[in-house]
Chain A
Amino acid sequence: MKLTIHRNRRGAAAVALTAVLALTATACGDDGSGGSGDEGSGKGEITFWDNNGGVRTPVWEKIIAEFEKKNPDIDVKYVPIPITDVQSKYDTAIAGGGLPDVGGVGTAYLANMVAQDALEPVGDRIESGALKGKLSEQMAESVRSAAGRGDEMYSVPTSANQGTLWYRTELFEAAGAEPPTTWDGFYAAADKLTDAKKNKFGFTIRGGAGSVAQALDMMYAQSGVDTFWNGDKTTVNDPKNVAALEKYVGLYKKATPEADLNNDFAKMVAQFGQGEIGMLQHNLGSYTDHVKAFGEGKVEGIPLPPSAEGSPRTIVSNPVDGLGLFKSSKNKTAAWKFIEFAASHEMNSLWNQEAGSIPANTDASGDAWISEVKPVKAAMESLNDPGTKVVQLPYYLPDWNNISKADSEPDFQKLLLGEITAKQFADGLAEKLNEAQAEWKQQQ
Chain B
Amino acid sequence: MTAALTETDARRTAPPSDTPVIPPKRRRRRQRAFDEVPRWQIYLPLGLYLLFTLVPFYWMLLFALRPAGSTSLVPWPITFEHFEKVWNERSFGVFFQNSMLVGVATLVTTTLIALAGGYALARFQFRVKNAFMLALLCSQFIPGALMLVPLFEIFRNLSMINSLGSVIIAETVFQLPLSMILISGFIKNVPVSLEEAAWVDGCSRLRAFRAVVLPLLRPGLIAVGSFAFVHSWNHFLFALMFLSEQDKQTIPVGLNTLIGADSVDLGALAAGGVIAAVPVVIVFAFIQKWLITGFSAGAVKG
- Chain A residues packing against B (C-beta within 8 Å): 1-5, 7, 23, 26-27, 29, 31-32, 47, 49, 52-58, 77-85, 88-89, 92-93, 95-98, 100, 106, 161, 265-266, 269-270, 273-274, 282-289, 292-295
Comparing B23-31, B44-52, B237-245, the segment that makes contact with chain A is B237-245
**Complex interface: chain B residues within 8 A of A89 (CB):** 240-241
The verdict on B149 contacting chain A, using a C-beta distance below 8 Å, is yes
**Complex interface: chain B residues within 8 A of A83 (CB):** 259-261
Give A93 to B152 CA distance when docked, in angstroms.
Answer: 8
Q: Are A82 and B154 in contact (CB under 8 A)?
A: no
**Complex interface: chain A residues within 8 A of B264 (CB):** 55, 265-266, 269-270, 289
Q: Are A284 and B262 in contact (CB under 8 A)?
A: yes
The verdict on B17 contacting chain A, using a C-beta distance below 8 Å, is no
Instruction: Given A2-B6, A97-B153, decide whether A289 and B263 contact each other with a Cβ distance below 8 A.
Output: yes
Q: Are B154 and A55 in contact (CB under 8 A)?
A: no
- Supplied contacts A26-B157, A55-B261, 10 more A-B pairs, CB within 8 Å: A27-B153, A52-B260, A52-B261, A54-B260, A55-B265, A57-B90, A81-B240, A83-B259, A269-B263, A295-B69
Chain B residue nearest in CB terms to A82: B256
**Complex interface: chain A residues within 8 A of B79 (CB):** none
Give A83 to B150 CA distance when docked, in angstroms.
Answer: 24
Q: Are B240 and A2 in contact (CB under 8 A)?
A: no
Give A88 to B71 CA distance when docked, in angstroms.
Answer: 36
Q: Are B245 and A29 in contact (CB under 8 A)?
A: no
**Complex interface: chain A residues within 8 A of B262 (CB):** 161, 265, 282-286
Give A85 to B124 CA distance when docked, in angstroms.
Answer: 45
**Complex interface: chain A residues within 8 A of B263 (CB):** 55, 269, 285-289
CB distance from A24 to the nearest CB of B (A): 9
**Complex interface: chain B residues within 8 A of A287 (CB):** 263
Interface size for chain B: under 10, 10 to 19, 20 to 34, or 35 or more residues? Answer: 35 or more
**Complex interface: chain B residues within 8 A of A100 (CB):** 244
Give A301 to B259 CA distance when docked, in angstroms.
Answer: 22
Give A1 to B256 CA distance when docked, in angstroms.
Answer: 58
CB distance from A360 to the nearest CB of B (A): 16
The verdict on B246 contacting chain A, using a C-beta distance below 8 Å, is yes
B 197-238 binary contact with A (CB < 8 Å = 1; else 0) = 001000001000000000000000000000000000000000
**Complex interface: chain A residues within 8 A of B148 (CB):** 92, 96
Q: Are A96 and B3 in contact (CB under 8 A)?
A: no
- Chain B residues packing against A (C-beta within 8 Å): 1-4, 6, 68-69, 71, 89-90, 124, 148-150, 152-154, 156-158, 161, 196, 199, 205, 240-241, 244-246, 253-254, 256-266
Partner of B245 from the list A58, A77, A106, A289 (CB cut-off 8 Å) is A77
Partner of B260 from the list A3, A5, A56 (CB cut-off 8 Å) is A56
A-B contact count (CB 8 A): 134
CB distance from A158 to the nearest CB of B (A): 13
A and B contact pairs by CB, cutoff 8 A, 26 listed = A1-B199, A2-B3, A7-B2, A23-B154, A27-B150, A27-B157, A52-B260, A53-B257, A54-B258, A55-B261, A55-B263, A55-B265, A57-B257, A79-B244, A79-B246, A92-B148, A93-B152, A96-B156, A98-B152, A161-B262, A269-B263, A274-B71, A285-B262, A289-B264, A292-B69, A295-B69
Instruction: Given A85-B240, A85-B256, decide whether A292 and B154 contact each other with a Cβ distance below 8 A.
Output: no
**Complex interface: chain A residues within 8 A of B259 (CB):** 54-55, 82-84, 266
**Complex interface: chain B residues within 8 A of A265 (CB):** 262, 264
Partner of A98 from the list B90, B244, B258, B260 (CB cut-off 8 Å) is B244
Give A27 to B150 CA distance when docked, in angstroms.
Answer: 7
Give A340 to B21 CA distance when docked, in angstroms.
Answer: 77
**Complex interface: chain A residues within 8 A of B266 (CB):** 266, 270, 273
Q: Are B244 and A49 in contact (CB under 8 A)?
A: yes
**Complex interface: chain A residues within 8 A of B258 (CB):** 54-55
**Complex interface: chain B residues within 8 A of A289 (CB):** 263-265
Q: Are B260 and A285 in contact (CB under 8 A)?
A: yes
Q: Are A80 and B257 in contact (CB under 8 A)?
A: yes
Q: Are A58 and B89 in contact (CB under 8 A)?
A: yes
Q: Are A294 and B260 in contact (CB under 8 A)?
A: no
Q: Are A5 and B2 in contact (CB under 8 A)?
A: yes
Q: Are A82 and B240 in contact (CB under 8 A)?
A: yes
Give A260 to B89 CA distance when docked, in angstroms.
Answer: 33
CB distance from B11 to the nearest CB of A (A): 14
**Complex interface: chain A residues within 8 A of B265 (CB):** 55, 289
Partner of A96 from the list B1, B68, B152, B196 (CB cut-off 8 Å) is B152
Give A31 to B153 CA distance when docked, in angstroms.
Answer: 7
Q: Are B71 and A4 in contact (CB under 8 A)?
A: no
CB distance from B173 to the nearest CB of A (A): 12
Give A7 to B253 CA distance when docked, in angstroms.
Answer: 44
Q: Are B4 and A95 in contact (CB under 8 A)?
A: no
Partner of A1 from the list B6, B89, B245, B261 (CB cut-off 8 Å) is B6
Which 8 pairs between the two chains have the least Cβ-Cβ distance?
A285-B262, A54-B257, A55-B260, A82-B256, A96-B152, A26-B157, A3-B4, A29-B157
**Complex interface: chain A residues within 8 A of B158 (CB):** 26
Q: Are A5 and B4 in contact (CB under 8 A)?
A: yes
Give A1 to B84 CA distance when docked, in angstroms.
Answer: 64
